[in-house]
């Protein structure tokens, strides 16, 4: 039996919500606990990978967002969203907040990249992501050789640049050598769009679970291979020792550069392009972080599908019908107005009332407490609906009694009449 990777009337992928929650949690940890407790080494698992995962998910959302929209409508919506994100990112880049605000880069991706690529097929997007993962870091390294030194490491577009009219610096840090340069974040975005195309295509033939497993395998292979090659270059090939012998600060400087970067690779050696360093924008970092993001998305889709299958099978008593708590930026049918409505959970019947085990038999009888609209309806198709005019309900009346299997429920209480009904008098 296939697991329902997609659940609900709106056709949502629950695993995408799970992956987005992991990305936000990882970025929160890196921006708070990592600085407070630097001795906790496992925090570095999220370094660079959480923000890359969120960027990949942004590309997935582009496909879901534009699936049922025309060209002009989709472009207007993408650009509008990008302008809002860019403005918010610039407004938040204040000294009190710090320069670690990536929203401006996300906004630029929606403005520059998404309108040009959202109509491409999945294979074309995958090839484009692979090509840009190699070309963009090399192009950035070559371009920066001909630019004056950056004003500071890890700077981002700020309101001060806009206020002073320093648009050259604004565009330079946004596109080329800032903390989150658009040039080296394009591969993440395109990879996410390719994943979105894959999910939409496989959902039509109910093979999303197989696609999710393939994403896990592909992501693990890419991430593991990149880390192995990078460590081989740093260690056995002697990149670290060679750089430490020529760097001004010696081994201490080299180790600091290997531990983290500020958006770009150093210009003193081409070898940095093949070394995995978080937030460096190297080829190794782009390929490795993309692989990690793809694997996480695939695993989250499998987890979401397993949870949906368990809930649909009754393995999660207490699951209730209700709206999806996650924000709706990735509805697979977002173009349909139904995607805006709260969707029912896999367990349609609502809360389950369980009777304690009988002293003799030990059996437990369960009576579903159905929603009022469902009880009064003439039909029930998993989602509460209205009763057809003149239709009689085939559902048993729910009186609140708990029935043990194999026992006689006893006579029903008498139906009140206008003469005996204590709630009022006979109607006129």
Look at residue 1 and give its three-state secondary structure.
coil
Calculate Rg over the CA atoms of the chain.
28
CA distances from 179 to 21, 212, 404 (A): 23, 32, 65
CA distances from 122 to 191, 212, 297 (A): 9, 15, 16
Token output for 59: 């590309």
Residue 308's DSSP bridge partners are none
**Calpha distance 83→373 (Å, rounded):** 43
Q: Which residues of the chain have pLDDT under 50?
A: 1-4, 7-10, 314-388, 391, 393, 395-396, 398-400, 421-428
7 in Cβ contact with 331 (< 8 Å): no
Give residue 413's pLDDT. 59
Residue written as token pair 């992991």: 22
Contacts for 427 with CB less than 8 Å, ≥ 6 apart: 418
Angle between helices 283-312 and 182-204 (to 10 degrees): 30
> Diameter of the chain by CA atoms?
102
């Amino acid at each position: 039996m296939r697991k329902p990777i997609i659940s609900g009337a709106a056709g949502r992928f629950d695993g995408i919500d799970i992956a987005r929650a992991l990305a936000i949690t990882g970025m929160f940890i890196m921006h708070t606990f990592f600085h407070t407790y630097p001795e906790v080494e496992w925090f570095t698992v999220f370094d660079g990978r959480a923000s890359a995962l969120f960027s990949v998910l942004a590309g997935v959302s582009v496909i879901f967002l534009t699936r049922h929209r025309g060209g002009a409508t989709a472009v207007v919506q993408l650009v509008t969203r990008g302008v809002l994100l860019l403005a918010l990112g610039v407004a938040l880049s204040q000294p009190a907040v710090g320069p670690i605000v990536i929203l401006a880069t996300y906004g630029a991706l929606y403005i520059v990249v998404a309108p040009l690529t959202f109509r491409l097929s999945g294979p074309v997007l995958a090839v484009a992501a692979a090509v840009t993962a190699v070309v963009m870091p090399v192009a950035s390294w070559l371009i920066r050789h001909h630019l004056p030194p950056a004003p500071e490491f890890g700077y981002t577009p700020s309101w001060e640049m806009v206020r002073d009219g320093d648009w050259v610096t604004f565009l330079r840090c946004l596109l080329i050598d800032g903390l989150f340069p658009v040039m080296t974040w394009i591969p993440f975005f395109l990879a996410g769009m390719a994943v979105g195309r894959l999910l939409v295509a496989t959902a039509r033939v109910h093979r999303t679970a197989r696609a999710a497993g393939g994403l896990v395998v592909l992501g693990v292979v890419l991430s593991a291979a990149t880390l192995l090659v990078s460590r081989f270059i740093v260690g056995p090939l002697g990149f670290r020792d060679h750089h430490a012998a020529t760097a001004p600060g010696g081994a201490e400087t080299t180790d600091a550069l290997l531990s983290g970067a500020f958006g770009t690779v150093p210009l003193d050696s081409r070898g940095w392009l093949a070394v995995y360093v978080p937030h460096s924008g190297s080829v190794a970092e782009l390929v490795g972080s993309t692989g990690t993001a793809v694997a996480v998305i695939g695993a989250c889709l499998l987890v979401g599908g397993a949870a949906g299958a368990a809930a649909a099978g009754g393995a999660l008593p207490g699951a209730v019908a209700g709206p999806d708590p996650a924000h709706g930026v990735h509805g697979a049918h977002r173009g349909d107005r139904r995607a805006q409505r709260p969707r029912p959970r896999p367990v349609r019947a609502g809360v389950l009332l369980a009777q304690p085990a009988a002293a003799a038999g030990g059996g437990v009888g369960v009576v579903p407490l159905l929603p009022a609209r469902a009880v009064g309806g003439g039909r029930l198709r998993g989602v509460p609906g209205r009763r057809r005019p003149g239709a009689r309900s085939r559902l048993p009346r729910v009186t609140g009694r708990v029935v043990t299997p194999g026992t006689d429920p006893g006579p029903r209480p008498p139906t009140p009449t206008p003469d005996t009904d204590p709630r009022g008098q006979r109607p006129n």
